[in-house]
Structure 1
Amino acid sequence: MTLAAAATTGSARARAIRLVIWVVAVQAIFWGVALLVRPPGIDPVFERHRVANIMLMGSDGQLREAIGHPNYNLGESGEARFVGSVELDRPESGLVVFASRYSRFANLTVNGRAVPMADAPGWRSGSFGGKWVVPAGLLRAGRNTLEVDVKRECCRAYLASLIAAPPGAIDVAIRQWRLQRLLPAIGLLVLGIFGAGSCLLAAGNSAYRQQAYAAALAFTGMALGGLWQIDILTPSSEPLYISVGELTLLATFAGLVALVDRWFPGGPRHDRALVVLSLGFFILIASAAFTTDGMQGQIRNLLDIAMVSLANVAIIASVLRGLKTDRQLWTPDAAVVLLVPSISLADLIDSLQVNPLNLNIAPLGVLALAVLLLLGIIRRGRMLSRRLEDANALLDARIAAKQAELEATAELLRQREAEAAVQGERSRIMRDMHDGMGGQLLSVLMLSRDENSPRQMIIRTVEQAIDDLRLLIDSLDSVGDTMDIALGQFRERAETKLRAAGMRLAWSNMLDGQSIMLPPGTILAVYRIMQEAINNAVRHSGGQVVSLAISPHNDGGFEISIADDGQPGAAMWKRGRGLSNMETRAQAIGGTLVIETGTKGTLVILRIPGA
C-alpha cells in the first residue's frame, strides 16, 4: 500500500469515527432528555393501589379472565364490562377510583350502585383518564365490587389500569399523571404552530422557499398531532378521530421527507414517490373516516408500519447522499436527522405493543427538527460570514477611496448651500427695500419737488418708510426666535403707534412659548399685514381700543386676529390698495386673510398653516 493510499484510508476511517461519535452523542443527549421529560415506569402510588383482579363479564353474566397486554384489558366487542374488587378496612374514609385510560366512554358501578364521574374530562377518547369519588355510604368493610362499563363506537373496548385508593395521595398522583400526559401534547401543539409560522415567514426568501415550505408542513403535522392527542379536534365519531390521527402522522412524515430530501445536496429526488404514496395513503385513510367500524386494527398497524418505514428509507437515503458529497460538512446534520428514524421506530414499536392504542407522534421529535433547522441557519450564517469577510476586504479599499471624495464633495456642497442661502437672503432684503422703503422714498422725493404737495402727506410717507425699515430690521433680528417672541417685538411698536393716536392696545398671546419657527421673509410679511391692519384702524375706525390676539392651531400653525371697536370701514378698505396688498402677502406665505365688518367694528383674521 502506498503512502497516498494509506493516508486516504486513514482519513476515511477518521471521518467514519467522527460520524459515529456525532450520531452516538446526539442520540445519547436526545434520549437522555426524553427520559427526564417522560420517565419510564408506573407511578408508585398507582402501582401500590392497582386493582389486580380485573375480570371480563361475558354476555352470559359469567366472569372470566380479560385478554390483552399486561398494561390493559381488552373486551370482545365495542362494549365490555370489567369487574374487579377492593378490600377496605375503613370505608368511612371514602374511595377514589381512577381509570388511567379507556376507550371513549366509561361508567362506574360500586356494589351495584352507579357513581357519577367526578371530573369528567372534555376528551372523548378517555386518554386522560376518568376519576370517580365514591362516597362512604356506598362502601362497606371488606370486599367491594367495582364494575366499569366501557363503550366505543368501533373496534374493541379496552380498559387500562384501574386504581382504587382513599382520597389524599391518590389525588396528587392523578393530577401529576394527567399533567405528564397533557404537557407534551400542548408543547407539541405550541412548538408546531410556532415552527410552522416561522417557516412560512422564512419562505419569503426565494433561496430557501422549498425547504421552508417542507419544514412548515412537518411542523403543521406535529401541531395537529398535539391537537389530536388532546382530543378536541374530532368531537364526532371514533373512526373520524382515528383517521385524523393517521392524517397528522402522514403530514408530519411527508414534511420531514420533503425537508430532508431538500436539505442535503443533490436533492430533491423523492418528490414523485412522495406525492404518489402520500395521495394513496390519504385516500385510504380518508375513506375509512366515515365508515361505521372505521379502519381495522391490523390494517391500521400495517399502514403505520408502511408510512414509518418508507419515510425512514427516504430520509436515510438522503442522509447517505449528503455524506457521500461531503462527510465532514454534513456529519452534524446527519447525526440530527438520524433522530427521526430512531424516534419514529421507537414510537412504532411502543404503539404495536400497546395495541389498540394508536401511534403517537413523539412530541420530542420537534426538538430534532428544530436542532436541524438551527444547524442549517448556523451553517448558512458561517457561509455568509465568510463571503462578507471577503467582500469587506475588497470593499474597504474602495470605501476608503470614496470616503475622501464624498467628504470633499459634501464640504463643497455645504459651502455652496451657505453661499446660496446668503445670496438668497441678500436678494430678498434688496427686493424688500426696493419694493417697500425704496418706493416710499421715491414718493417723498416726488412730493417734495411739487410745491403744492401737502406737508402732511410728505410726513406720512416718510413715517411709512421709517416703519417699513423698522419692520425689515425686526424681521432680521427674529432669526432663530420662536413666533411668539418675534410677535412680541412687534408689540412695542404697535403700542407706541396706537398711544400716539390716542388708542389702546389689548394684547393676547396664547402660543405659550410653542416652538413655531418661520423664516425672516415670512415674519416680515406677517409684520406688514399686522401693521397695515393697525394703520387702517388708526386712520379710519375712530375707535378707542385695538385688540390683537394670537392663538395656535391643531395643525401646528397659528392665527392672528386684529379687531377695533370703531365704525365698520369696508368701503374705505375697498377704495385703497391696503386690502389687496394684505391678501397678496398672505397668499405669498401660504396663509389666508379674512376681513369681517359689523356694527362693533372691523375684524382682520390672518391664518398661517403649519409646516
Structure 2
Amino acid sequence: MRAPDAPLMLPTRADTVRLIVWVLAVQALFWGLGLVVRPSAPDPAFERSRVSDIVLQNADGTQTPLDGRANYYLGTEREATFIGIVEVARPERGLVVFVPRYNRFASLTVNGETVPSSDAPSWRANRMGIKWVVPAQLLQQGPNQLAVTIQRECCKAYLARLIAGPPEALDVPIQQWRMQSVIPSFGLMVLGIFAAIGCLMVSRSPAYRTIAFAAALAFTGMALSGLWAIDILTPSSEPVYVAAGQMILLATFAGLVALADRWFPGEPRFDRPLVIASLVFAAVIITCSFVSDGVTPLFRNILEGAIVVLANFAVIASLKRGLVADRRLWTPDAAVLLLVPAISIADLIAAIRINPLALNSAPLGVLGLAILLMLGIVRRGQMLSQRLEDANTLLDARIAQKEAELEVTAERLRVVEAEAAVQRERSRIMRDMHDGMGGQLLSVLMLSRDESAPRATITQTVEQAIDDLRLLIDSLDSVGDSLDIALGQFRERAETKLRAAGMRLVWSNRLESGAISLPPGPILTIYRIMQEAINNAVRHSGGSMVSIAINPDDAGGVVIIIADDGKPDPATWRKGRGLENMERRAAEVGGSFVLETGAEGTSITITIPKV
C-alpha cells in the first residue's frame, strides 16, 4: 500500500495490460460459467406434450404467427394473448395445461371457456410456472383451442413454452420441474440468511464491524431476493409486491456499495451520499406501493435503473481509488469487482429485452454477487491481517530502537550513579575522618602545646586516634563481605585491647555465613558503637570479662549484646557523651540502643534491622 507521503506512481503500459487481462479473464470465466449452466434439456414428457404453432392474438382480432426465439414467445405490448391448438383423443381423461415460465398474471381459456388455475391463490408463479387442470366437459375430441393471456408490469409480455397433455403424463414431471426451479432460490435464501448471521457474528470485532454490517445488509437483501423469487409467500397486491422487490434491490446494492467503499484503502467516501440516496429511494418506493393501479412502466424502469446506475458509479469510483493507490496490488480485486456492473447491466437489459442467457444470468448474477461479498470479507481480513503484521513489524522495530535508546540511557545512568556513589563514599570517609580521627588529632595537638598535660593523657588520645583509623580501614576492607565476616575482624582488635587491660573476651556469633551484608558506612558505625562499649568496659567496669553475643532476630536483622561482669558504683555512675554517641549512631543505621546496668554488670543491646 502506498504511504501517504509517497509520490503517486503513474501506471505503466504493463500495468494497464495486466489489468485488461485480469478483467477479460474474470468476465470470461463468469459468463462462460453462465453458458455452461444454462437451462438443461427439457423433460422428454414436456417435449412430447409441447404445443407448437403458437400465434399471437392482436388487438384487432387478427393473429400473427410467432417463431419461438429459443423457446420464448414475445408479445409487443404489456398484455399478450398466445393461442395454440392441441389435439385431444380422449376428452374424458381431462387435460393438464402448464406454462413453465412466463412473465406474470396468466389466465387460460379453453374453447372460449375460462379455466381457473389449480395452484394456490397466493401463488404468483412466474419462475414456478402455472398449472391448469381442464375438466372433461370443456374438452372436445379433436382440436381444442388454448388461449393464454399474459400480463407484464413493464415492457413486453412473454411465455416460455405451452405444455398440454393428460394428467398421468404431466403431473410428476411438473412436480420435478418445480422442485428443480425452487432449489436455487431456496438455496440462495438459506445462503443469504446464514451469511448474514455470520457477518453479524464477525461484527463483534471492532476491526471488522463496519464492513461486516455492510456485507450483512447485502446478504440480507440476497436472502430476501431468494424468498421473493420463490414467489409463493407473498399474497399481496401487485404494487406492494413490486415495492418489496425494489426495496430488496435497494438493500442489496446499498450493502454492495458500502462494501466496495471499504474494500480498497482510504477512508469510506460514500457513507453520507449512500444514506441520503437510500432514504430518498426508499421513500419513493414506499409511496409507489400505495398507488392502487401501480406506477407506469417507464417510471419503474427509471427508478430501478437509477438505483443500479448510481450504485455502479460508486463501485467503479471505489475500485478506481484502489487502482490509484496501488494498481499492481489491487488489479485482481478491481477485475472481480467489475462483475457488479457487468451483472447488473445484464439484468437491466433482461428487464427490457428477453433472451435465454439474460434470464439465466439473473439468479447466477445474484449468486455471483454473494461470492463477491464473501471475497470482499476475505480480502478485508487479509488486508487487516497484513496491516496488523506491518504494524507489529513497525512496533517491533520501534521497540528495538527504544530498547537500544533505553540501554544507552541506562548505561549513562549507571555511570552517573557509580560516580555519585564514589563521591558519596569519599564524602563519608572525609566526614568520618574529620569527626573521628580528626578531632582526636586536634586534641593531641592541643595537649602537646599544654606543658602541664599528663603524658598518659596524650598517649591515650593518640591510641584512640589510631584505633579509629584502624576501624575506618577495617570498614573499607569489608566491602563485599557479609556482616559476620566484618564482625570477625573486629573480634581480633577487641581481644587485643581486652587482653592488654587484663580482661578476657567471650565471643558468640550465630549469624549464618553471608546472611546479612551492609555497606562500609553502617559497618563503621557498628564498629564505633562496639568500640565505645569495649572502651567503657575497660575504663569503668572494673570487671574481668566482656562477652559479645551476635544473634539473628525474627525480622531478619541482627541483635548485638555486649556485657561485662563489673560492679560499677551507682553513686558515681552517670550517662556521659559516649553513651549519647552510641545511641545516635544506632539511630543512624535505623537501629536501636538499650543500656542495662545492675549488680551483675552492665550490658548494651544494639538491634540492626534488615536492610
TM-score, with length taken from structure 1: 0.54
Are residues 384 and 267 of structure 1, via their aligned partners in 2, closer, same or farther at CA, if it must alter by over 3 Å? closer
TM-score, with length taken from structure 2: 0.54
Partner of 1:475: none
- Secondary structure of 1:269 counterpart: coil
Answer yes or no: is the 8 Å Cα contact 2:76–2:157 preserved in 1: yes
Answer yes or no: is the 8 Å Cα contact 1:66–1:75 preserved in 2: no
Partner of 1:442: none
Match of 1:373 among 377, 384, 390: 377
Are residues 303 and 146 of structure 1, via their aligned partners in 2, closer, same or farther at CA, if it must alter by over 3 Å? same
CA distance in 1, matches of 2:267, 2:391: 24
Report the residue type matching 1:285 in the other structure.
Answer: I
Report the residue type matching 2:308 in the other structure.
Answer: V
- Provide the aligned C-alpha RMSD in A: 4.2
CA distance in 1, matches of 2:341, 2:150: 35
Are residues 59 and 29 of structure 1, via their aligned partners in 2, closer, same or farther at CA, if it must alter by over 3 Å? closer
Alignment of 1:377-396 (within 5 A): 377-381=381-385, 384=388
CA distance in 1, matches of 2:379, 2:168: 48
Partner of 1:229: 229
Alignment of 1:269-280 (within 5 A): 269-280=269-280
CA shift digits 1:62-99 (9 cap, x unpaired): 45449999634559777x76543213456576543112
- Unaligned stretches of 5+ in structure 1? 1-7, 399-611
Partner of 1:470: none
Answer yes or no: is the 8 Å Cα contact 1:108–1:148 preserved in 2: yes
- Unaligned stretches of 5+ in structure 2? 1-7, 404-611
- Which one is further off, 133-142 or 177-186? 133-142
Are residues 69 and 275 of structure 1, via their aligned partners in 2, closer, same or farther at CA, if it must alter by over 3 Å? farther
Give 1:22 shift. 2.9
- Secondary structure of 1:343 counterpart: helix
Partner of 1:25: 25
CA distance in 1, matches of 2:289, 2:10: 56
- Which one is further off, 284-293 or 176-185? 176-185
- Secondary structure of 1:363 counterpart: helix
Answer yes or no: is the 8 Å Cα contact 1:67–1:74 preserved in 2: no
CA shift digits 1:308-346 (9 cap, x unpaired): 122112111111110111122222322221111111111
Report the residue type matching 2:147 in the other structure.
Answer: E
Give 1:305 shift. 1.9
Partner of 1:99: 99
Alignment of 1:157-556 (within 5 A): 161-167=161-167, 170-171=170-171, 173-232=173-232, 234-354=234-354, 362-364=365-367, 365-381=369-385, 384=388
Are residues 41 and 19 of structure 1, via their aligned partners in 2, closer, same or farther at CA, if it must alter by over 3 Å? farther
CA distance in 2, matches of 1:352, 1:48: 31
Answer yes or no: is the 8 Å Cα contact 1:120–1:131 preserved in 2: no
Are residues 154 and 291 of structure 1, via their aligned partners in 2, closer, same or farther at CA, if it must alter by over 3 Å? farther
Answer yes or no: is the 8 Å Cα contact 2:74–2:156 preserved in 1: no
Give 1:106 shift. 4.2
Answer yes or no: is the 8 Å Cα contact 1:155–1:296 preserved in 2: no
Greater relative contact order structure (CA < 8 Å, 6+ sep) = 2
Answer yes or no: is the 8 Å Cα contact 1:123–1:230 preserved in 2: no
Partner of 2:110: 110
Give 1:389 shift. 8.4
Give 1:383 shift. 5.2
Are residues 328 and 103 of structure 1, via their aligned partners in 2, closer, same or farther at CA, if it must alter by over 3 Å? closer
CA distance in 2, matches of 1:76, 1:15: 49
Answer yes or no: is the 8 Å Cα contact 1:103–1:125 preserved in 2: no
- Secondary structure of 1:295 counterpart: coil
- Which one is further off, 127-136 or 259-268? 127-136
Answer yes or no: is the 8 Å Cα contact 1:118–1:133 preserved in 2: yes
CA shift digits 1:374-393 (9 cap, x unpaired): 23334444555677789899
Answer yes or no: is the 8 Å Cα contact 1:239–1:292 preserved in 2: yes
Are residues 315 and 58 of structure 1, via their aligned partners in 2, closer, same or farther at CA, if it must alter by over 3 Å? closer
Give 1:169 shift. 6.2
Are residues 374 and 31 of structure 1, via their aligned partners in 2, closer, same or farther at CA, if it must alter by over 3 Å? farther
CA distance in 2, matches of 1:350, 1:315: 21
Report the residue type matching 1:256 in the other structure.
Answer: L
CA distance in 1, matches of 2:74, 2:38: 24
Partner of 1:514: none
Answer yes or no: is the 8 Å Cα contact 2:263–2:376 preserved in 1: no
Answer yes or no: is the 8 Å Cα contact 1:154–1:294 preserved in 2: no
Answer yes or no: is the 8 Å Cα contact 1:196–1:217 preserved in 2: yes
Give 1:253 shift. 0.8
CA distance in 1, matches of 2:348, 2:284: 19
Give 1:291 shift. 0.6
CA distance in 2, matches of 1:336, 1:327: 14
Give 1:302 shift. 1.8
CA distance in 1, matches of 2:306, 2:226: 22
Give 1:168 shift. 6.1
Answer yes or no: is the 8 Å Cα contact 1:77–1:156 preserved in 2: yes
